[in-house]
Each structure stands twice: as C-alpha cells, then as structure tokens.
Structure 1
Amino acid sequence: MLSKEKINRINELANKSKQEGLTKSEKEEQKELRQQYLGNVRKSFKNQLKGMKVIDPNGKDVTPEKLKQMQKNEKKH
C-alpha cells in the first residue's frame, strides 16, 4: 500500500498542475508516484481475483480457466 505521504504528494502535484503548472522535475516525480500507485492498485485487484469463484445460477462452478490456473499457481508459492 502506498504511504499517506505519497498519496498526499500525488494530490498536491495534481492541484498545483491545475492551478499553475509543474516544473520538469515535478512532472517526473508525479509520473513516478502515479506508476507506484497504479502498481499497488493492480496488485490489490489481482489479489481480490485470486480469491474469487464464479458460480452460475444452477450452482455450477464456471470460474474461467485462466483464473483457476492463477489460483493454482498461487497455492504452490
């Protein structure tokens, strides 16, 4: 998870960008922070998917094979 300080900094840079613009170094910092944030979001989403099981209205497991494989691989580690 991204620290509170980094999230606050992302918001500061976004507000400054809208109001007065960013310097080149601030733009690079913003890009790096956004990449970290997106990486955390993707990781969290994958972890949620790994715990899912899809059941149709008849009670049959219809979890996609790709997801089943991902879950199987996770159990090995």
Structure 2
Amino acid sequence: MLSKDEIERINYLARKAKETGLTEKEKKEQKELREAYLKNVRSSFKNQFKTMKVVDPKGNDVTPQKVKDMQKKSKKK
C-alpha cells in the first residue's frame, strides 16, 4: 500500500510535468511511483475476485470458472 505522502508526490509530479516539465531524476521517480501504484491497484483488484461469488436470480452459483480456479489456487497457499 502506498502512503499518503507517496500519492501526494505522484500528484505533485503530474502537475509539475504539465506546468514546467520534469528533470530526468523526477521522471525516473515518477515512473517508479506509478509502477508501485499500479502494482498495488492490480493486487487489490485480484483480492476482490478471490472473495467474489456470482449468483443468478434463481440462486444458482454462476461464478465464472476462471474466478473459481483463482479462488482454489489462493486457498492452497
């Protein structure tokens, strides 16, 4: 999870890039922060799928097989 300071830094660098541009050092920092942020988002999204269950109006479990496989894999760990 990214800290509040890291998220603020991402936003600051984005604003600065639009207004005046970034140095090479800042561009590298921005890239690293963005990659860390996206890794966090992807991980959170996958964790949501691991707890998901899809049920049709008749009460039948219609969770896609790919999601069921992901859930089984996470339970084995």
TM-score, with normalisation over the residues of structure 1? 0.95
Secondary structure of the residue that 1:7 maps to in structure 2? helix
Partner of 1:11: 11
Where has structure 1 moved over 3 Å in runs of 4 or more?
A: none
For structure 1, which runs of at least 5 residues remain unmatched after alignment?
A: none
Secondary structure of the residue that 2:22 maps to in structure 1? coil
Secondary structure of the residue that 1:62 maps to in structure 2? coil
The number of equivalent residue pairs is 77
**Cα distance in 2 between the residues matched to 1:54 and 1:27:** 42
Cα distance per residue 1:29-59 (max 9 Å; x no partner): 1011000000000000100111000011111
For structure 2, which runs of at least 5 residues remain unmatched after alignment?
A: none
- Counterparts in 2 of 1:53-64, with a 5 A limit? 53-64=53-64
- Counterparts in 2 of 1:1-77, with a 5 A limit? 1-77=1-77
User: Aligned residues: percent identity?
Assistant: 66
